Amino acid sequence: MKMQTLTLACAAALVSLSFGATAQTALSPKAQYAADAKAAKTRYDSDLKLCADETSSNARLQCRRDAKTEYDKALTEAKARMSTAAPAAAPTAAPTQASTPVSQPTCPECGKVVSVNVTEKQGEGGALGMIGGGVAGALLGQQVGQGAGKDLATIAGAVGGAYAGKKIEERARTHKVWTVNVQYGDGSRRSFEFSQDPGLIVGDKVRNSGDSVVRD
């Protein structure tokens, strides 16, 4: 029995050495546990063979019990090492170069209609209206004046006629104006005038076209 105990002790020492060597070359907790369990099973099988050499049944039974105790202890220690071992660090992926966002081309001449106003713009009387009105006024003055009074009436009629002609021409030239206010991407604003309805409404996207704008 003493020989058997000594054998078990030696086997335990060999297993411990095996555990230490395996721990030094451990790859992962699971792989380490598998190696430890395999070593414990090898030792257990070896102990059972030694137990068969015992001379008495009681000695053989006790030997098997001791072998089983050592085997269970080895498995328990292997599981404890596996649970406390730090998980293997995952390989760090090589940093990928961040793709540089491609800036979309901007349109500095593009904008949006923010308001449309319609007004009447008074025309300007030209020389033609003044001349025409002056002639008509002079003729009228000659008909209502005599002598010096006639000359004054002619002058007054000519002046009044010229003013009236100017006003008539201004009215004749009065027209509607559509003023379209446009805001651009940089925050600036511009106004464009149209003599006819451009067909634009608030919110329309437009772009510059010469001295005017057109729907984009």
**For each of the chain's 216 residues, which pLDDT tens digit applies?**
444 554 555 555 555 545 454 445 545 888 888 888 899 899 989 888 888 888 888 888 899 899 899 999 999 998 888 888 755 445 566 556 655 655 555 788 999 999 999 998 776 656 655 565 555 555 555 555 555 555 655 655 666 666 666 667 677 677 889 999 999 988 899 999 999 999 999 999 999 988 899 998
Helix (H, G, I), strand (E, B) or coil at 199: coil
Q: Do 8 and 47 contact (CB within 8 A), yes or no?
A: yes
Torsion over CA: 90, 94, 95, 100 (sign): negative
Q: Can you list the positions of beta strands (E) in 32-136?
A: 110-121
Q: What is the pTM of this model?
A: 0.35
Name the DSSP letter for residue 102: P
Helix (H, G, I), strand (E, B) or coil at 157: helix
State the amino acid at position 42 in one-letter form.
Answer: T
Which structural domains are found in the chain, ordered by start? 2-84 (no CATH), 109-124+173-216 (2.40.50), 128-169 (no CATH)
